[in-house]
Amino acid sequence: MKMKIKILFVVLAIFLFLAPEILAASSSFFSNAQNWYNSNCVRRPERARGQQAVLCYAFDKLNELHQTNDTQDQKITELEQRIEDLEVLHPTPTLTPISAKRVFITSTIYNGNLGGLAGADVKCQERVTAAGLGGSWKAWLSDDSISAGSRLTHNSGSYELINGSKIADSWEDLTDFSLDAPINISELNTTVNNPWVWTNTFGDGTIRQINNSSCINWSSTSSGGSTGDSSRTDGGWSDFGAIVCSSSRPLYCFEQ
C-alpha cells in the first residue's frame, strides 16, 4: 500500500508542478484527470471510498502545493511530508502469520473401548499434558455418525509433526489423500513402530461407514474397528484396514 501511494504521489507531482513541460504536452491526460477529480472529489465527495478516497486526497494535497509560491525544492520537501501524512491515514495493514498445527501419534496404546470420541480426545490431551506440549487437542477419529472432519479445526496454515516436519500445507492439503510425511512421531518426539492406528476415517476426514468399523462408537472391545497405517503417506495413513476391538492401538492427535 505504501509503495502504491508513493508512486501515485510521484506521478501526480510530475504532472501537476514538477515538470510543466510534460504537463503541456499531455493536456489530454491532464484534462481527463481533472474531469475525474471534479466529478468524484469536488461535485460528489460522498462518493469517494477506499482507493478512490486516497486519490481525492492526493489531488487535494498536490493541488495545495501547486498553488504555493515555494521553490521546487521546498515543494519536494512538502510533498514528502504529505506522503508521510497519507501513510498515517492509510497505514499498511500488519498481517498476522497463520501458525502451524501440531500432530502426533500417541506413544501409548488403547483397546477399542476408548470412552467414545470424547474419551479419545481426553486420551490425546493426557498425552499432551505428559509431554508438556500445551494447547487443545483432539483425536483424528470418527464414530458411526460424527466424522473427524466435522470435529477438528480446519487450519489454513500447515500441519507439522512434533519434530517440525511438515505433513501438509493446510486442511485441504491434509485431506487430499496424500501427506508430505508419515505421522509416526509421538508426543515425546520418538518414532512409533506400531503402525495401525484407530481412525474409522477416510483420508478426506469423512466416516468410513462400514459395518463394525467403530468398535460400537468406540465403547466396546467385542466388535471391529477401522485403522490407518502410520507408516504410509497415501490415503492409507487414515484408512488401511480393520481389526478386532480387543487389540490395542495408538491414536492420531491433532492440535486445535
Task: List phi, psi (to 5°) of 69.
Answer: -100, 15
Sign of CA dihedral 217, 168, 138, 133: positive
The helix, strand and coil proportions of the chain, stated in percent and rounded to the nearest 5, come to 40, 15, 40
| Amino acid (one-letter) located at 24 | A
Beta-strand pair 166-168/224-229 = unpaired
CA distances 202 to 37, 47, 115, 142, 232, Å, are: 59, 52, 21, 9, 13
Q: Could you tell me which residues come within 8 angstroms of residue 174 by beta carbon, excluding any fewer than 6 positions away?
A: 159, 167, 168
* Confidence at residue 5, expressed as pLDDT on a 0 to 100 scale: 44
Q: Which residues 6+ apart lie within 8 Å of 110 measured at CB? A: 123, 198, 248, 249, 250, 251
Q: Does domain 101-255 have CATH number 3.10.100.10?
A: yes
Do residues 249 and 198 lie in contact, with contact meaning Cβ atoms separated by under 8 Å?
yes
3-state secondary structure 200-229: CECCCCCECCCCCCEHHHHCCCCCEEEEEE
Q: For the chain, what are the domain ranges? A: 2-89, 101-255
Query: Each residue's pLDDT tens digit in the chain (256 positions)?
Result: 444 444 444 444 444 444 444 444 445 555 666 665 666 665 555 555 555 555 666 666 556 655 666 566 665 566 566 566 655 555 555 656 779 999 999 999 999 999 999 999 999 999 999 999 999 999 999 999 999 999 999 999 999 999 999 999 999 999 999 999 999 999 999 999 988 999 999 999 999 988 789 999 999 999 999 999 999 999 999 999 999 999 999 999 999 9
* pTM as predicted: 0.65
Query: How many helical (H) and strand (E) elements, i.e. helices and strands, does the chain have?
Result: 9, 8
Among 254, 105, 103, 100, residue whose Cα is nearest residue 184: 105
Strand partners, 138: 254
The one-character DSSP state at 168 is E
Residue 6 sits at φ, ψ, to 5 deg, of -65, -45
Residue 4's pLDDT is: 44
d(CA 214, CA 56): 64
Q: Residue 220: CB partners within 8 Å, gap ≥ 6? A: 112, 113, 245
